[in-house]
Structure 1
Amino acid sequence: MIRNLRRRNEPLDHAELARLLPAPADPRLAADRQHLLEEHLMSEIHQSDPTPAPAPARRPLRRTALIAVPVAAAAALAVVVSMAGSPDTTTVAAPQLVKAPVVQIDEGSAVKVTSTVRELAAAATANPTPQPGAGQYIYIKSRVSFLASSFNGDTGESATWVQPLHDREAWKSLDGTKGWLDEPGYQAKGGIELGSDEPRKDLTYKWLAAQPADPDALLKFAYSTASGNHDRDQEAFNEIGSIIREQLVPSALAGALYEAAGKIPGVVVVEHAQDASDRDGIALARLDPRTGERSEWIFDRESHQYLGSRGVQIREVNGVKPGTVVERTSIVTRAVVDANKQRPGAGQGKA
C-alpha cells in the first residue's frame, strides 16, 4: 500500500514539481486544496519512513483533504520519497495515523445566512488587523489534522484515518516569494522553505491589501478562478476559503469576503461546529455535491472572529461514512513579525 496523506500545501516552483511527478489525470482539486499540494510533496520527501502503519492507499479523485493527487502521482511520490534523502538532511518519521472522529451532523440553515454574514462582516471591519511593513512577514500558527484512508484490495474493506492533531507554523513574505513552514513530525526537523517566484497573487498579503472591499467584485473574482467542468459555486466558495484560511486579511476586506461568500447559492449556517482546538462556534458552510463533504468556516459565536475550519462528510462517498470529520484546523496565533522564522514576541503585533 502507498501512504498518501492528503493535505493542503503551499506553492512550490511548478517546473520542479513537473519534474517530480507525471502529468495528472484530472485530479479535480478544490482551490483551497491545490495550492498546498506541492508544499506537502516536499515535506513528504524529507520523511525517512514512507510506510508507517496503517498504510493508506489513494482513494480516487477526492479533494477533501490535503494531498489529492492521482494514483500515478502517488506512486511517483513514493519513489521520490525513497530516493530523496541526503546525508545532510535530518529526517523524521510521521506519527501514526488515528481513526477519524465522527460527529452528529448538524443541519445547516439557509434562512440565517444573510443575518449571520452581516454580523461576521461588521465584526471583521470593527477589528483592525496589523499593517505589516516592507520586509516583514505574516506568521500563522495553527493546529491541524487532515485525512488519509486505507483500502484492502483483497477484502474490499476501507477505513478512514486522520493525522493526529499537530502544530503547524507558517511564515509568508508580503509578496509570497519567501517563507518557511515548520510542522514537526511531517518534514525535516526545523522546517522547509516556502515561497515562489510566481506565487498565486490572491494568496499574498500584497494583493489582498490592494483590493477594494467590494463583495460583488470579490465574488466575481472567486468565480473567475473556477473551471468550467465542476460545480462553479463550490469552487468559488473554496476559493474564498483558501484566502481566509492561512493569511492575514485586512479587516475591511475580510468583511467583504464573508459578504461575498453569503451570496453563493447553497451556503448555509451551521449553529454548532468545533474547530481543531475544540472551540464551539457558528459556521458558514457549503456541501460539495460531488464529494459529499461539507466545508465549514468556524467563527466565535460572541466575537464573530474566525477560529478555524472543519470538513464533515454528510453523505457516504467512496466509503467515508456520514459524520466523519475529514479535516480540522484552528488558528492559534496570527501575527506580523520582522523576519522569516521569527516567532511573535515583545513589540510584535498579533491579529
Structure 2
Amino acid sequence: MNDRHASGKRHDDRDEIARLLPAPADWDLPRERHLRHKDLLMRHIDRHQAETATGTPTTTPAAPPVRRPRLLLRPALFAPAAALALAGALTAGAVLGGNGGARGDAARHAAGDMRPAAALLHRISDAAADHGAPTVRDDQFVYTREKVRGADVTSGRAVVGPLQDRETWMAQRPGPLHRLGLMRTDGETLPINAELGDTKGTPAGLSRPTYRWLASLPTDPDKLLAYLYAKTPATAGRERDQAVFEQIGGLLGGVMPPRTAAALYQAAARIPGVDRSPRARDAIGRQGLGIVRDDKRYGVRTEWVFDTEDYSFLGSRSYLTRNTSYGKAGTLLSSTAELAHAVVDKAGVRPAGEAGTDRSGTA
C-alpha cells in the first residue's frame, strides 16, 4: 500500500515538474486544430506525393461532398484548411459493423498503452462532472466568445492569418432550422445559416449540438464511443479513430451538461493513439496540458489544451508534424482560445459583464 502511494506521489511529482518546465522554442507560436475543407488539402498532399514518386503530374479526383461540422463557429478564411479536422462525405446510415466489439477491445487495450493520457483525461472528466448544470431553454441562445487564428491553403501554401475576435449565438431550438444563429467576427455580424444540403433546415445533432441534444447522449463512455463511431461521417482513406477524436474535439467548449462532458473525456481516453503533451498552448499563448492525436497519413497533429489548475478547456490547435508542400513541420493550421460562455435570451446581445455595446439580431 505504501509502495503504491509512493509510486503515485512520484508520478504526480514528475507531472508537476514537467508542467513547470518552459515550452520548447518550436512551440512558441500558438497553434490549433479546427479546420474545414479537409479534402482539398488531403488531395493536394496525395497528388504531391504521387508526383514526387513518379515524376509525372497527376489529376485531382472530383471532391466528394464536404460536411461542415460546426461550420459557422470557424471563420470563412479557415475553410480550405479546416477540412483537416472534420471533413468528409456525409454517409447516411454509417454503422460500426461486425467488428464493433473488436474495436472496443482494441480501444481499451490502447488506452492501457497510453496511461498518462488516459489518467489525465479521467482527471479532466472528474473536474467536468463537478460543474453545476445550467438551465438552458429551447428559446434561448448559447453565447461563445473566443480568439481564433488559422491558415488559408488555397494558394498551395499555408498562409497564417491574423488573430481574430469571434462571438457566436447558437439557437437552441431542436429544429430543423434554416437560421441557426449569429456570428460576429472583428465587429462584422453575419447570420448562421443551415448546413449546405439541408434544404429543410439543420436539426440538432453532431453538426448543431444543442444543449438538449447533448443531454440526450449516452453518459456511459463505451456506449457514447460506440455512438460516435457509428455517427461520425466516414471518408475513404480517412483514419476512423482520428475522425472520431476530432469529432469529440468539435463538441468541446461551450455550455454542456456536466455528465455529457465527463463522458466525452472518458470516451476520448479509449481512442487508440491518443497521447498527452504537458506543454501545450492555445491561440493566445496560454500554456496548459495537452491531449493530442496525430494524423500520421497527412502529417497533422490535433491538440486540445486544458488549464493546469482546474482542467477547464482552454482551446485547441492543429499544425503540421512533417514538411509538406504546404509548409514546414510546425506550421500552424488553426487555433482557438475559449474566453467566455453564457446563455442569453436573444441573438446578438452579449451577456452581462461582456465588454462592448450590445447589438441585437434575429435568428
**Normalised-by-shorter TM-score class:** 0.5 to 0.7
> How far does the alpha carbon of each residue in 1:8-67 deviate from its partner, in whole angstroms, 9 at most, with x for none?
59xxxxxxxxxxxxxx933596x7xx32457879x67xxxxxxxxxxx9978xx833799
The 3 A distance-change label for structure 1 pair 165 and 40 is closer
3-state DSSP class of the match of 2:351?
coil
Q: For residues 134 and 255 of structure 1, what CA distance do their matches in structure 2 show?
A: 23
Tell whether the 8 Å contact from 2:275 to 2:293 is kept in structure 1 after alignment: yes
Q: CA deviation at 1:7?
A: 5.2
- Aligned identity (percent) is 32
1:160 to 154, 158, 161: 158
Which amino acid in structure 1 is aligned with residue 220 of structure 2? D
3-state DSSP class of the match of 1:201?
coil
Q: CA deviation at 1:291?
A: 1.6
Corresponding residue for residue 241 of structure 1:
249
The 3 A distance-change label for structure 1 pair 340 and 214 is same
Q: For residues 321 and 184 of structure 1, what CA distance do their matches in structure 2 show?
A: 29
The 3 A distance-change label for structure 1 pair 233 and 303 is same
RMSD: 3.3
Determine which structure has the larger helix proportion and give its number: 2
Q: For residues 237 and 66 of structure 1, what CA distance do their matches in structure 2 show?
A: 9
Q: For residues 193 and 79 of structure 2, what CA distance do their matches in structure 1 show?
A: 27
Q: CA deviation at 1:340?
A: 1.4
Corresponding residue for residue 190 of structure 1:
189
Corresponding residue for residue 16 of structure 2:
none
Q: Which runs of 5+ in 2 are unaligned?
A: 1-33, 38-60, 90-112, 196-200, 355-363
Q: Does 1:179 align with 2:181?
A: yes
3-state DSSP class of the match of 2:186?
coil
Tell whether the 8 Å contact from 1:144 to 1:328 is kept in structure 2 after alignment: yes
Corresponding residue for residue 58 of structure 2:
none
3-state DSSP class of the match of 2:153?
strand
Q: CA deviation at 1:184?
A: 2.5
Q: Does 1:207 align with 2:213?
A: yes
Q: CA deviation at 1:216?
A: 0.9
Q: For residues 28 and 318 of structure 1, what CA distance do their matches in structure 2 show?
A: 24
Q: For residues 286 and 172 of structure 2, what CA distance do their matches in structure 1 show?
A: 30
Task: Point out which structure has higher relative CO (alpha carbons under 8 A, 6+ apart).
Answer: 2
1:26 to 38, 58, 63: 63
Corresponding residue for residue 153 of structure 2:
149
Tell whether the 8 Å contact from 1:175 to 1:205 is kept in structure 2 after alignment: no
Tell whether the 8 Å contact from 2:136 to 2:343 is kept in structure 1 after alignment: yes
Q: How does 1:252-291 map to 2 (within 5 A)?
A: 252-291=259-298
The 3 A distance-change label for structure 1 pair 172 and 273 is same
Q: Which runs of 5+ in 1 are unaligned?
A: 1-5, 10-23, 45-55, 70-108, 152-157
Q: For residues 152 and 137 of structure 2, what CA distance do their matches in structure 1 show?
A: 39
1:63 to 76, 83, 93: 83
> How far does the alpha carbon of each residue in 1:188-208 deviate from its partner, in whole angstroms, 9 at most, with x for none?
x33223456223513222210
> How far does the alpha carbon of each residue in 1:263-315 deviate from its partner, in whole angstroms, 9 at most, with x for none?
00000011111101211011111101222111001100110000100112111
TM-score, length-normalised on structure 2? 0.64
User: Number of residue pairs matched?
Assistant: 262
3-state DSSP class of the match of 2:338?
strand
Runs of 4+ in 1 over 6 A off after TM superposition: 38-41, 56-59, 65-69
The 3 A distance-change label for structure 1 pair 309 and 346 is closer
Q: CA deviation at 1:159?
A: 3.9
Q: Does 1:130 align with 2:134?
A: yes
Q: For residues 261 and 193 of structure 1, what CA distance do their matches in structure 2 show?
A: 29
Tell whether the 8 Å contact from 2:157 to 2:325 is kept in structure 1 after alignment: no
2:223 to 210, 217, 220: 217
Tell whether the 8 Å contact from 1:285 to 1:297 is kept in structure 2 after alignment: yes
Which amino acid in structure 2 is aligned with residue 264 of structure 1? I
Q: For residues 228 and 195 of structure 1, what CA distance do their matches in structure 2 show?
A: 22
Q: Does 1:35 align with 2:69?
A: yes
Q: CA deviation at 1:136?
A: 1.1
